[in-house]
Structure 1
Amino acid sequence: MLFCFTSSHRTAGFDLLDRLERGAGAVIDAIRGQEAVTGSVVLATCNRFEAYLDVDLAKLELRDHAAAALIDLVAEAAAVDVDELRDGSRLISGDAVASHLFSVSSGLESVVIGEGEIAGQVRRAYIAARSSGTVTHDLERLFQSASRTSRGVKNTTGLMTQGRSMVRLALDLAESRVADWGAVRVLLVGTGRYAAASLAALRDRGVTDAAVWSRTGRAQAFAVSHAIEAVPADGLTAAVASADLVITCTVSPALVITRDLVDEAMELTEEAHRLLVVDLGLPRNVEAAVSEVERVELLDLETISLHAPLEELQATDSARELVGAAAAEFAAKTAERDVEPALVALRQHVFEKLDAEIARFASRQDFGDIERALRHFAGVLLHSPSVRARELARDGDAAAFIDGVTAVFGVDPATTGATITESVAPRNVAEAGRETA
């Protein structure tokens, strides 16, 4: 059964999200160590921490126990208080998991509704899990469907093509502090995707003077590829002192810009110089006390999220309709899979009886004609139950068909040992005839 543990800007403060992000590695290891968890994909972004799990409920006492156990597991691994985590998170199960992931990957659950980065973040989380061998068949279906859905939302509504992002929202908030973007000296701290997105957004506003610093030594390569200046490893303080705007966007587990560093940097500047620091990192890149330094202003994710714009209702409503339809179709196909063992068992039962009858006539001269006729008849006979089984499954009544097969034919799908395939019975009479040709 599919579960999703989710803690996001909608349920938790950024302080809790920060601690979950810092403990992400430990959480992933703890999840993979659970016998009942057969597969997992962990998504960690600047405003959410989510674990999508395929759980074998047979290895747990109760479904409710699974929920409590998962929250306890994450709390212990991330070293956060379990009551705080319970209050700041949700646990989603069953068909609702698909609806949630499809909304997330389409940008409908983001701080900035319709942001474009989230689809790539979901895809990279799925690829990382595949590389680690933790993606089950059901998780594969789930994330492939999420990718198709987000593309459909983007292509149909245009919601994810309008340049919305945390980066651009942060720069919108900085607009009132900047008289002339062309005269602003910018320092980027970090060389990842957010750094590239930040630089592109800055250039759209007219910034021409930018430099980059990296704790990992990648500043030179980033600078060359983006035609900006590289700051040497030991030059961070001087670079902060010469900057008007500092944007941090690294995945460093430790603080990069500290109060002491900024104090030292501001001592090197003129009295009229002011500094704006934008922290897009999670875990937090900038020490909160930086905001207390004279002539320095700090915009962090929590502050930025409070100013997220309202949804554009028409595009958002259309996107939600598409997501709802995709989630309903995913649930229907999942329900169809629930009846497949019963269909396989029924088909196996019918053809075992057929083989026995054919054996009785094997010595007759017209045996070939008899066998073809009987096999065609068996295919035709199985067509209606197959169609009805899928209809019942889509209506949420798969158990009626499974119980009926057991009651009428004495067939137990759980004990047939049959292998489930994509097509468990001919879908129409013409196919039944072709199978016996």
Structure 2
Amino acid sequence: MLLCVTASHKTAPFDVLEQLSAPGADKITPLIAPSVDGVVVLSTCNRIEAYVETDSDDTALVIADAMRSASGLSPEEFAGSYAVKTDGKAAEHLFAVAAGLESVVIGEGEIGGQVRRALTDARQLGTTTSDLERMFQRATETQKAIKNATALGRAGRSLVRLALELTDSRLADWTTQRVLLMGTGMYAAATIAALRERGVTDITVFSASGRGAKFGEKYGIAHTTKATLVETAIRSDIIITCTTSEEPVVTPATVAGLDKPLFVIDLGLPRNVDPAVGELPGVTLLDLETIRLHAPLEELQATDAARQMVKDAAARFTDGRRGRSAQPAIVALRQHVFGLLEAEIGRRPEAEAALRHLVGTLLHTPTVRAAEYARQGRADEVFAAIETLFGVDVRPAVEAAEAAAQPADAAAEPAGACPVTGAAALG
């Protein structure tokens, strides 16, 4: 069974969500992995999700408790803050997430890369399975297809761009603005590009981890250090934060002595800016919750088309997964029949061509029907029929075979291959 436990801006208040997001995938995955066959954790600024493969009906509770305990939330605080999706619905949810359909801003571009990185991280931790690999790969394929076939990607705006648009109405001239960028993570490069599109040239970066100088050199901007941070902050007109820090990087002390208007844009989750900063005279604080409230209306036509593509892709994935569930039985049948065939050819070598053609013809229909039954969720009937007719029972070996499957199994099957066995079609 594939299962997803998700907490996002749609299920949890922002204060709860930022605590859930704080530990990150590297801390949550080890808490879940021992209880499941495989797990991929997706942690972004507005969601924390665990996708697992498991045989236990109680796994959702285990995952939810792992998320809660890693974040330090009490059961009362966490209650009602997550949703559970299984099998086809889990795949459909992931495909929608990857396409940006579940984001704060519909169609935002960053999430596709985050989904890909989640799979890469799980591979490095050794916690993927063949089905999880396939599901995440199909999610990426679906996201790219939606981007190419609909206007969703063009209509949707990233968090960075939307935040700057919300600031735009309060500024007379972007070209005169001095910007302090705090963080060198995934939003930093997008922020620089968006600022430069608006004519901003005075950009300074600060990195608490010491990457500011190298980052500044790469993007042709100035950098500041902790020693001069306050001076740079109060000189700035706009401060934009986008770090993964678990503690606020902007506090009232950061802007001590401020004597002019200041816009502070907080793109971090957990929050990068102490809420008290927003109460200071002259400071306008724009955080993720505010951005969500001002998110533009969806481009209905593009969104509807994208959601239909997601549903279709999820249905194909589910059908394919069900079809593969009968694969061990069909492989065992083919091995059994081919064993008999080789023995008969040994006795009648002159009839080899005719015998191989006959066996291929006879196996074709059972193979196709087995795939159909498996896609209908009736794989057990395929196992039972083969055992009854041929005395071949591979059900005890199925679990071991699945455990031995490698991520490489998720590679595309060769053209013309049988949808159940992967072998060339016969007959």
TM-score (norm 1): 0.88
Equivalents in 2 of 1:4, 1:372: separation in Å? 50
Displacement of 1:415 in angstroms is 4.4
Question: Which residues in structure 2 correspond to 1:382-393 (within 5 Å)?
Answer: 382-393=363-374
- Kindly provide the amino acid, as one letter, of the partner of residue 124 in structure 1: R
Partner of 1:173: helix, strand, or coil?
A: helix
Q: Do residues 377 (structure 1) and 358 (structure 2) align?
A: yes
Farther-moved stretch of structure 1 (412-421 vs 336-345): 412-421
The answer (yes or no) to whether the contact 1:6–1:51 under 8 Å persists in 2 is: yes
Pairing 1:349–2:349 present: no
Residue range with higher mean Cα deviation, 250-259 or 100-109: 250-259
**1:67-216 paired onto structure 2 within 5 Å:** 67-162=60-155, 164-216=157-209
Change (3 A) 1:112 1:412: same
Deviation at 1:73, TM superposition (A): 2.4
Residue 373 of structure 2 aligns with an amino acid whose one-letter code is L
TM superposition shift of 1:399? 3.2
- 2:211 maps to what in 1? 218
Structure 1, residues 61-104: CA drift from partner, whole Å, max 9, x if none? xx1x2222222222222221234334011121112111111100
Identity of aligned residues (%): 48
Unpaired stretches in structure 2, ≥5 consecutive residues? 403-408
Residue 332 of structure 1 aligns with an amino acid whose one-letter code is D
Give CA-to-partner distance per residue, 1:209-245, whole Å, 9 cap, x none. 2211111222222222222222233111111111111
Partner SS, residue 87 of structure 1: coil
Helix, strand or coil at the partner of 1:373: helix
State the structure with more CA Rg. 1
Q: Which residue of 2 aligns with 1:274?
A: 261
State the 1:48 CA deviation.
0.6
Q: Distance in 1 between matches of 2:332 and 2:218?
A: 60
Q: Is structure 2 residue 274 aligned with structure 1 residue 287?
A: yes
Provide closer, same or farther for how the CA distance between residues 84 and 396 of structure 1 changes in structure 2, counting only shifts above 3 A.
same
Distance (Å, rounded) in 1 between the aligned partners of 2:109 and 2:253: 36
1:192, CA displacement in angstroms?
2.0
Q: Partner amino acid for 1:108?
A: L
Aligned to 1:27: 28
Q: CA deviation at 1:186?
A: 1.1
2:9 aligns with: 9
The one-letter amino acid paired with 2:321 is: T
Worse overlay, 229-238 or 399-408: 399-408
**Aligned mate of 2:318, from 331, 353, 356:** 331
TM-score in terms of structure 2 length: 0.90
SS of alignment partner, residue 234 of structure 1? helix
- Residue matched to 2:392: 411
Task: State how far apart, in whole Å, the 1-side matches of 2:396 and 2:30 are.
Answer: 35
- Report if the CA contact (8 A) 1:345-1:416 is conserved: no
Q: CA deviation at 1:204?
A: 1.4
Alpha-carbon deviation of 1:333?
Answer: 0.5
The aligned residue for residue 405 of structure 2 is: none
Partners of 1:358 and 1:369 lie apart in 2 by 8
Deviation string 1:328-363 (CA, Å, 9 cap, x unpaired) is 11011101111112212222333344455556xx3x
The residue number in structure 1 matching 2:40 is: 41
Counterpart AA for 1:329: R
CA 1:302–1:333: 2 relative to 1, 3 Å: same
Q: Contact 1:259–1:287 at 8 Å: present in 2 too?
A: yes
**Distance in 2 of aligned mates of 1:106 and 1:426:** 33
SS at match of 2:226: coil
Name the aligned partner's letter for residue 42 of structure 2.
L
Counterparts of 1:26 and 1:197 in 2: how far apart (Å)?
27
Amino acid in the other structure paired with 2:195: L
> Between Structure 1 and Structure 2, how many residues are aligned?
410
Deviating 4+ runs (over 6 angstroms): 416-422
Say which SS state the counterpart of residue 165 (structure 2) adopts.
helix
Distance in 2 (CA, whole Å) between partners of 1:151 and 1:344 is 34
Q: Which residue is 1:396 aligned to?
A: 377
Whole-Å Cα distance in 1 between the matches of residues 171 and 422 of structure 2? 68
Q: Secondary structure at the match of 2:269?
A: coil
